[in-house]
Structure formats: structure tokens, C-alpha cells
Structure 1
Amino acid sequence: MPDPVLTTTLLFAGMGLFLALGVPIAIALGGLSIGMIYLFWSPMALNMVPIKAFSTASSFEYLAIPLFIFMAAMLQRARVADDLYDTMQKFFGGLRGGLAVGTIVICTLFAAMAGISGAATISMGMIAIPSMLSRGYGKDITLGAIAAGGSLGILIPPSVTMIVYGIVANTSIGKLYAGGLMPGLVIAALFCAYLILRGWLQPEISGGQDMQRYSWREKVASLRGLVLPLSLIVAVMGSILSGIASVSEASAVGAGGAILCAVILRRCTWTMLREAAEDTLHLSCMIFWIIIGATAMSTFYTAMGASRLIEGLVLGLEINRWIVLIAMLSILFVMGMLLDTVGIIMITVPIFVPIVVALGFDPVWFGILFIVMMEIGFLTPPFGYNLFYLRGVAPPSIRMTDIYRSVIPFILLMLAAVGLCMAAPGIVLWLPEQLF
């Protein structure tokens, strides 16, 4: 067996080189792992790679990933966000910054239905950007609210990212779902408070010059746009948190419910179903290839004893455990700027979680902090996914620098939320303790 220090150095240096050269992360992880297994372990050990790949890809828990992706694709194409936006416009349109607040509320509801970030960001980008800009909202408030609100999709359950994290970390996905709900609502509330404050301080860029008020009759009539989304949220999350269904079973409820929503809204067509299925196939394949490549890497890394080496080094430093935790979160912040979320989970979780448990931290609590850092990664330049989603649907007058500037206050708010959850762990742990 090679020296663990040499293995660690070669593995991470090679991975950094491949990623710098633009090699897809799945190939960088999987290809490098296969080469190192052949050179440092044994050619016979390569038989392990397809066996591990099959056992991983056929895991029942992972079945929830394509089903939740399909649900999000169907909801996006059924234009559920259109009806939600009409409702929020009626209720918040007369408030300074009201449409931005309504956008956050819609993204929060969409997060509780879809489980991925892109669906809300793309849908609200197409709907809200023209509407808000035409009503005098500034670019930074408009773009920042949509990008930040869309990022809630990986924190508020049912989150696809939490499924991957829970399986890799061997942590209850149900507890992670329960733990992510309150922090998600806290972050959404911080966003809304910030936007309302901006509205009062800067009415000229918060719709203050063109506020439209609606009667209560119009507001009540618009509530029908909430019926289907709330029904779907109750069906999916209620079945999970009540213990009626597992996460994978609830994902099937969500996928069927999304089709039913499209049928009720009379927007379901064979073309829509085919396009949603194609999107599901593409995104699921990308995620699973990353999982397979990273599984090969983590198996080799563990077999070489390198993960135990890092754990021993960290625990042997005898420094304050909070400093270790902050260092881990800082590493995740930097990695979120450069790497895919699933790749970060597969690379870091097998190393970080044993250290966290050894330091006496609750694994569910750490899992939520981890997910919030991944949520921040969706907004951090240069490779934040939501930044590119937004660029794809924004009008030509919007520059990439406008999008970069718009998310800075929201990143700071999410970092403040991380600090709040660290200072008051009950924000994360209260609901899991009540339900489980």
C-alpha cells in the first residue's frame, strides 16, 4: 500500500489539474480513481468499480432524484409560477419592494414543491424580470431576489441535494428534511426584511413610483392560484414528515401530482411530457455519473487509509472544535465557487462527517449548515449555477456583472443565517426532535 500522504497529494493535485483543464468533474473523479486503483492498488481491484457503480445507481433512495427532477420540470412547463405570481402581485403590489418580496415567497413555495434550484430561478426569471423592470425596480433588486429566492430549492424540502448528502453521510434524509425547513424559512424571512427595508430607503428603485393597489375582492379571487401548489406541498411533505411514505415514495407522489396539476390547468400535452422527461434524463444522468465517479474515488481513498489520516491529523491538532468547523465551512464556501454541488458532497462528506461526529457536533445540524453553504455556492461567482440560469433568461440589457453585483447582499444574509444556526442550533434541531 502506498503512503496515505502521497495518495492524498496525488489524488487532489490530479483532480485540481483535470478540473483546471476543463475536464468534466465525473470524468476527473472517475478516470483519476481508476488510474490510481490500477497503479497503487491492484488491476484486480478494478472489478470493484462496476460493482460499486451498479449498487449505487440501483439504490432505492436514489430513485427520488429523477422523480423530483421530473416534478420540477413539469411544474415549470405547467406555468404554475404564473398563477403564483398573479396572486403575489395582487397582495404585495401595493408595497414598496412588494414584487421582490412576492418573488421570494413564490420561490419559497416552489422550493417546497420542486426540490431543485433551477426550476424556480428560470420560471421567475422569465416572469418577474420584465414585470419588475417595467415597474421601476432596479436591476440589483430584481436579479438578486430571483437568484437568491431560487437557491432556496436545495434547502427547503423536498431537496434533491439533501438526498445525495443523506445517503453519502449515512444521515436520515427525513431528519435532514425536517431540519432544513426552519432555516429555509429564516433565510426567506431575512431576504424579505432586506427587500422591504430597501423599499422604504430607496423607493425609486423598489417600485415606489408605480405601485398598483387591488381590491380585496381581486385579492381573494387570486388565491385560487395557491390551491394546487399548496395541495402538492401538503401531499409530498405531509407524507414524508408524517411517516406515511419514504422520501422515494413521496417523490412518486410529487411526480404524479405535478402531472395532475398540469392536467387541471389544461396545460398538459404530450410535447410537455416528452420535454420534461428529456430534461429529467439529461440532469439525472449528469448527477449519477458524478456520483459513480466520486464513489470510485471515495472507495479507493478509504481503502488506502487516507481519510483516517486526515481525521487523525485534524483531531490531533487539539484546537477549538469551532475553529475546525469554521475552517470546514470556509473550504465549502471556496469549493462552491468552483465545483458542482454533488461533486463537493461526494468529495468532502466522507472526510468531514467523521470529524464532525468525533468533535461532538450533531450530524443533522452539520448537514444543514453544509447544505446552506451549497446554497451559497449557487450564487457565488464565477460558476454559481443560478447566475447562469438567470443570464439565460434575462434580456440583452442585463450584463453578467449586473447579476454578480445583485447577489452580494443575499450572500451576506445567508452567511448571517449560518452564524445564527451555529449560535442557536435549535433552529435546525427543534423540528427533527419533535417529529423523530
Structure 2
Amino acid sequence: MSVEVLTLLFFGALVLFILLGLPLVFVLGGVSVVFLYFTWGIESFYMVSSQIYGSMGSFTLVAIPLYVFMAMILERTGVARDLYHMMHLWFGGMRGGLAVGTLGICAIFAAMVGVSGAAVVAMGTIALPAMLQRGYDKRMALGVINTGGGWGILIPPSIMMILYALISGVSVGKMFAAGILPGLLLIVITVLYVIIRSFLQPELAPALPASERASWPEKFRAVRSVVLPVLVVVMVMGSIIGGLTTPTEAAAMGVLGALISAAVYRQLSFSMVHEASIRTLKLTGMIAWILFAAHAFSAAYQSMGAQQLIEGLMQLIPGGPWGIIIAMMIIVFLLGMVLDPLGIMLITLPVFLPIVDALGFDPIWFGILFVINMEIGYMTPPLGFNLFYLKAIVPPGITMKDIYASVIPFVLLEVLAIIIMMIFPQIVTYLPNLLFQ
């Protein structure tokens, strides 16, 4: 049977079972195993099992449950509430100040927890009612929370970056370093947009009345609330950048910082740690199955010779190597509207990474563009996770239409950031090259 027919049957079976509503990870793993059996025979299973065994023995993999556990603990500490109070005092007196403060908290949360959703839930519960009560446009408030909440997978430490590194074989430390400047770029672009639009349309995000503005002593007292978040960030990223620990060892440092934070906020208890541990176990188990499916899919894909077929098809895309990269970004963007980011990684990375390598592009640079596209996937209709996190906690007067409409300008800002990083790849590559020579 020709490679064209095999490829058509393979991807056709994937689409069919996904449309039937089966879990994506089991569709990918199951279909891949069936095709491996009929192309290479039962011996091919030894190859898949050996690859999985190699991954399970990876020291890097230990970082995933540690970062997830850290996130689960920090969600329950009350850090977000105190951070919002501080931002409220410092930025509330300017137009769009509460929105800017919310973005700042989302950035801090992103640097602590490494997952998307934690900041969305926290800010949707704390910041959204405060902004609506003070006359903020609901779509502006929703959009700010939605986009800021997605930064958790870009600003290191990031679970998504660890998975990308495991699948692509690049350094986790380099991925973390590469995400710092792009993360700052996104924060600056988004904050400037909020400030400029609030200045041009003051009714969208009015400043707090004089009676609610804090004195300087009150502002400085509130700064104490950032001590613990900064401690966690320094324990994680500072130890990596300073060369004191590996990313995996830094994850253990982050867990220690999270436990200290929980103790300071008097939230540390056996029941809280037990609940966080159970949630960590469930999420880590899901990720383990994802790695199995990724290895099975990659082996089946290569055994059929589909890689050469896809590479040949990519050469037909106009615009040369850059046209191919742009086409990949468009494909990932469209998939982000209907699939979860981990599923997109499973489907696309085994196909895209060999092509990226053959074209001579830096896999670290491509990885950051890919992760930003995954971030967009969290916030784009119809199935973005952050949209549904928000819907679960917004007041009754806010509809799904409002939530969908709120993300449009912020998605365009993220696309703008991707374009800037494609034009100036040094934004991504400078810190990895400087810190990991």
C-alpha cells in the first residue's frame, strides 16, 4: 500500500474517532498502535515501549508533578487577594489602572504556577467584580483577565515548555530562558493597549474616585504582599538562571516556597495538601498518557514514511521556508479553536519538528512561537479553556457572547507579538545563548 493511501487512512481514522467524541489521547495512541501492527508487525511495539521507558526515566519529567503541585498549593494560599489589593492601591488612580494591575498580577501568577487557568479563576473571582462595580466596560475587564490568565504557559516556569522540550529534545533550561523576553514583550504590548485605549475612551476604564485612592504610606504598606510571590519566583527562576539548580531541582524549590506561602497565610493543612496531591496525581497521570500517545504517534508516522510525504507537500507552499513557518502557525492557530493545546502538541509536533530542523530554524525559537499559539488557543472561541473558566464564575448578566467578543483585540495583540518575534528572532534567542553557552 502506498504511503499516500496509508497517510490518508491514518489521519482519516484520527479525524473520525475525534469527531465521535473519544478522548484525543487514546485516539492518537490507539490508532497509532493499530497502524504500527499492520505496517511493522508486533515487533514495533518494542520500539514504542523502549521510547516510553526512556522518557519515564528522564530526570526532567520529575519537574512536571512538582510544578503542578506548586500551582495547586498557591491557588489556595490567598496570595492573589493580597496582590490585587496592592495593585488596587497603586494603580487605581489612573484610567485603566485596575486593568493594568490585574495584568500585573496575572504576570506574577504566571511566573509562579506554570499553568493556565489559575490566574483566570483567581482574577475572575477577585478582580472582575471590582472592575465592574467601578464602571469598567465588561468586555475590557473580561479580555484583560482572559489574556493575562494565559500567560502561565509562556512565562517560565511552564508545564507546556517542559512537554515541548521532552518531545523535541531541546533543553528545558533554554526554553525557560527563551520565554522571559517574549513574556515581557506580551505584557508591555497588552499594558500599552489598555492604557492607550483607556485614555482615548475613558468611559471604558475610569479612574477610581479620589475617596478610594490610597495615601503613600498605605501604598508602601501594601507592597509587603509581593514579598512571598517574589520569594517563590526567585527560588524557581533565580536558582535556574544563577546556575544553582537544574529546572527540575528548581521545581522542588518552588514547592518549598509554595508551602512557606501557605503557612504564612495560615492555609497549610493536611486536607489542603491532600487535595492538592490528588489533583496533581490526576493531572500527572494524564500527562503520562499524553507522552505515551506522542511516542506511539511519532513511531507510526515515521514507519509509514509520512514524514517525507508531508515535507514534500510543505515544499509546495509559496514563500519558501518562511511561507512554511507561517503556514504552520496558521494551522496551529486554527487547531487551537477546536482542540486542547496538549492534543495539538501530539498531532503537530511530530510532523512539524523534522521540517523545522530541515529548514534550518532554531527549535527553541519555533517552540516559543508554538507556545504563544497554544496560549492563544486557551482564549479563542469556540472551545478555549479560559473562556469556560470565566463563564463558570462571571455574574449572571454576562453572556458567552460577551466573553467571546472580549478576546478579539487581545488575540490580535498576541498575533502581533508573534509577528514581531518572527521579524526579530533575537528576542527569543538572546537569553538562551547568553545563559547557556
Q: TM-score range by the shorter chain?
A: over 0.9
The residue matched to 1:207 in structure 2 has which SS? coil
The runs of 5 or more residues in structure 2 that have no matched partner are none
Q: Which position in structure 2 is the counterpart of 1:59?
A: 58
Partner of 2:139: 140
Letter of the structure 1 residue corresponding to residue 279 of structure 2: D
AA partner of residue 383 (structure 1)? L
Q: Percent identity?
A: 48
Q: How many residues of Structure 1 are paired with residues of Structure 2 in the alignment?
A: 435
Instruction: Indicate how the Cα distance of structure 1 residues 54 and 398 shifts in structure 2: closer, same or farther if over 3 A, else same.
Output: farther
Match of 2:356 in 1: 356
Task: Give 1:263-342 correspondences, 5 Å limit.
Answer: 263-315=263-315, 319-342=319-342
Shift of 1:230: 0.5
Q: Secondary structure at 1:203's aligned position in 2?
A: coil
Which whole-Å deviations, capped at 9, do the CAs of 1:277-315 have from their partners, x for residues lacking one?
A: 122122222222222122211111122222233224434
Deviation at 1:254, TM superposition (A): 0.8
How far apart are the structure 2 equivalents of 1:283 and 1:122? 18
Task: State yes or no: 1:259 paired with 2:274.
Answer: no
Deviations 1:292-347 (A, max 9, x none): 12221111112222223322443476852111110010011011112221221222
1:208 Cα shift?
3.5
Which whole-Å deviations, capped at 9, do the CAs of 1:207-242 have from their partners, x for residues lacking one? 346463111100100000000001110110011122
Q: Which amino acid aligns with 1:73?
A: M
Deviations 1:342-396 (A, max 9, x none): 2212221222122122222222111111111111111111111111111122222
Instruction: Tell me: CA distance 1:316–1:196, structure 2 relative to 1, closer, same or farther (3 Å).
Output: closer
Distance 2:360 2:58 in 1: 30
Check conservation: 1:112, 1:158, Cα contact below 8 A. yes
Q: Give distance in 2, aligned partners of 1:249 and 1:395.
A: 41
CA distance in 1, matches of 2:134, 2:352: 47
Residue pairs, 1:74-85, within 5 angstroms: 74-85=73-84
For residue 272 of structure 1, report the CA deviation from its aligned partner.
1.2
Question: Partner of 1:40: helix, strand, or coil?
Answer: helix
- Equivalent-residue separation in structure 2 for 1:49 and 1:426 (angstroms): 37
Measure, in 2, the Cα distance between the counterparts of 1:331 and 1:79.
Answer: 39
Residue in 1 that maps onto 2:15: 16
Give deviations 1:56-80, integer Å, cap 9, x for gaps: 3443211111111111111111121
CA distance in 2, matches of 1:397, 1:86: 25
Secondary structure of the corresponding residue to residue 244 of structure 2: coil
Distance in 2 of aligned mates of 1:376 and 1:421: 15
Q: Which amino acid in 2 is paired with 1:260?
A: I
User: Within 1, Cα distance between the matches of 2:58 and 2:86?
Assistant: 40
Pairwise CA distance, 1:51: 4.3
Q: Structure 1 residue 380 and structure 2 residue 389: aligned?
A: no
Distance across 2 between alignment mates of 1:165 and 1:308: 22
* Deviations 1:137-192, CA, capped at 9 Å, x for gaps: 11101111111001111111001000000111111111111111111111111111
Matches of 1:35 and 1:396, distance apart in 2: 48
RMSD after superposition? 1.7
Unaligned runs of 5+ in 1: none
Hey, what's the Cα distance between the residues in 2 that align with 1:400 and 1:356?
A: 38
Matched, 1:68 2:67: yes
Q: In the alignment, is the contact (CA less than 8 A) between 1:135 and 1:210 conserved in 2?
A: no
Separation (CA, whole Å) in 1 of partners of 2:8 and 2:42: 21
Q: Do the aligned residues in 2 keep the contact of 1:291 with 1:342 (CA within 8 Å)?
A: no
Supply the distance in 2 between the matched residues of 1:94 and 1:15 (Cα, whole angstroms). 53
- Mapping of residues 168-247 of structure 1, within 5 Å: 168-208=167-207, 210=209, 212-247=212-247
1:116 aligned to 2:115? Answer: yes
Query: Retained in 2: the 8 A contact 1:56–1:292?
Result: no
Q: Give the Cα separation in 2 of the matches to 1:254 and 1:237.
A: 9
Give distance in 2, aligned partners of 1:101 and 1:414. 17
